[in-house]
Chains A and B, each alone.
Chain A
C-alpha cells in the first residue's frame, strides 16, 4: 500500500513539475515582465503602459550600441578616441556582469570607430568585443571569419556596419534564447551608458544652446522608463538590482528635464514612399542639470570599466 502511495506521489510531483516547466518555456518566458506596471513612470508615458497585462510577451528595447553611435555621428560630433574604453582593460573583466557591461561598451565603441572610419580601432574593438562574448560563453557570436571579413572590407562602411550588426545580433539572440535575458539586458545597459557618456563628453559648453548633441541627450529621457522596465523584468538578479539603483540616479536627473510633445500626426510622403511622423517638441535642459547628468553618467561608466 505504501509503495502504491509513493508511486502515486511521484507521478503527482512529476505532473506538477511538467506543468510548471511547460508554462515557463512557452512564449519565451512571458511571466518575466508582468511586474513592470508597478514602476513609477512619467505622466506622459504612463498611459502607454496601462494595457501591459494584455500581451503574452513584452519587449523593452533601448537603442542598440550601433544606433547610439549613429545618433552621435548624425548630431555632427567629432571623433575622440580618448573617450573609448581602452582595449587593454579586457583582462580586468572576469565576472559575467563586467563582461556583459563591457560587451555593450566595446560594441558601442566599435560602432563609433566604424562610423568614423578608424580602421585600426575597428579591428582592435572587434577583438575586444570578441573577448567579452567568448568570456560569457556566447558560442559563435564573433568568429575569426568575421574579423577576417572586417579586415578585407576595412574601407567599406556598409559591410563593416553589417558585420557589427550581425555579431551583436548573434550575442543578444544567444543570450535570450538560452535563458539569459538578464545578461542580455546588462549588455544593452552597457552600450546605452557608453553612448550617453560619449555624448555628454563631446558637448562643447560654449555652444550649448541649440547644440544637436544636447538634443540627442535630451531624447534619452524617452528611454529611461523603458530601461527601468527592462531591468525590473529581471529583478532579483543581484547584478540587475545593483544596476537598478544606479540607473535610478540618472532617472532622478532626467526627471528635471521638461519635455513637451505635441500630438503626433502621421503624413505619408508619396515621393519618398515613407510615413513622416510630424510633431513639435519643447525641451528645457539647463547647463547646470546637464553638468549634473554628465557627472552621474561619468561616475556610473567609471564603475563599469574599472
Chain B
C-alpha cells in the first residue's frame, strides 16, 4: 500500500516541476525579451510558453493607427532560432524575420488600425531519432509614449 502514498507525492512533484518551468519563462522573458524593447514602453502584457523544436505559437492582437510599436521575440538559448511572421487578416505576409536577417525585433506603425496575426516557429535542428530540445519562447510589445 506504499504505492498509494507515493503516487500523490509524485503527482505533486510533476505539477511543481511544471510551475517552476513556467516561472523560468517569466524570468527569461523579463531578462531577455524586455531589454530588446529599448526606448519603447512595454505594454505590460505577458506572452510566453514552453515549446519544442518544430512547434509553433500564434498571437492575435489589434494594433492602432498613430502608435509606434516594437515587437520583440526571444527563444531560450538551448533552442534553435525562433522565426516570426506577421500576417494581416487576409493572410498576406507583412514581415518575416527570416527575410530580415533573422531579426529579433520589428519596429512598425500603422496608417489605420489592424488586427494582425503573428506566427512564431521554433526551427528544428535535431536529427531524426534525436531528442528535440525544448525551452521558453516569449513575445513582447512596446509602444512610444506621447506626452
Contacts and interface: CB of A to CB of B under 8 A. Distances in A.
A27 B22 CA distance: 9
Interface string A7-50: 10011011001100110011110100000000000001101100
Interface in A45-93: 45, 47-48, 52, 54-67, 70-71, 73-74
A248 interface: no
A133 interface: no
Contacts of B108: 266, 274-277
Contacts of A226: 60-62, 115
A287 interface: no
A58 B26 CA distance: 17
B43 A63 contact: yes
A278 B111 contact: yes
A161 B40 CA distance: 11
B129 interface: no
Nearest to B46: A173
A274 B111 contact: no
Nearest to B44: A168
Contacts of B52: 56
A279 interface: yes
Contacts of B66: 74
B22 to A, nearest CB: 4
Contact of A216 (B41, B58, B64): B64
Contact of A25 (B4, B17, B59): B17
Given A45-B89, A55-B56, A64-B43, A277 B114 contact: yes
Interface residues of B, number: 68
A263 B4 CA distance: 61
Interface in B49-89: 49-52, 55-62, 64-68, 87-89
A185 to B, nearest CB: 12
Nearest to A277: B110
Contacts of A73: 146
B58 A280 contact: no
A222 interface: yes
Interface in B115-134: 115, 117, 119, 134
Given A164-B44, A176-B22, A279 B114 contact: yes
A4 interface: no
A64 B41 contact: no
Contacts of A48: 60, 87, 89, 91, 115, 117
A13 to B, nearest CB: 8
A223 interface: yes
B35 interface: no
A158 interface: yes
B72 to A, nearest CB: 13
Interface of A: 7, 10-11, 13-14, 17-18, 21-22, 25-28, 30, 44-45, 47-48, 52, 54-67, 70-71, 73-74, 107, 115, 157-158, 161-162, 164-166, 168-169, 172-174, 176-179, 188, 215-216, 219-220, 222-223, 225-226, 229, 261, 263-264, 266, 273-281
Given A56-B52, A62-B61, A266-B108, 17 more contacts: A10-B3, A52-B58, A57-B51, A57-B55, A59-B59, A59-B60, A59-B139, A162-B42, A165-B44, A169-B30, A172-B44, A173-B26, A173-B46, A177-B19, A266-B95, A276-B108, A279-B110
27 contacts: A10-B7, A14-B7, A21-B15, A27-B49, A47-B90, A56-B52, A59-B58, A59-B60, A61-B61, A63-B43, A70-B146, A162-B41, A164-B44, A223-B62, A261-B89, A261-B112, A263-B88, A263-B90, A264-B88, A264-B94, A266-B95, A274-B108, A275-B94, A275-B107, A277-B108, A277-B109, A279-B111
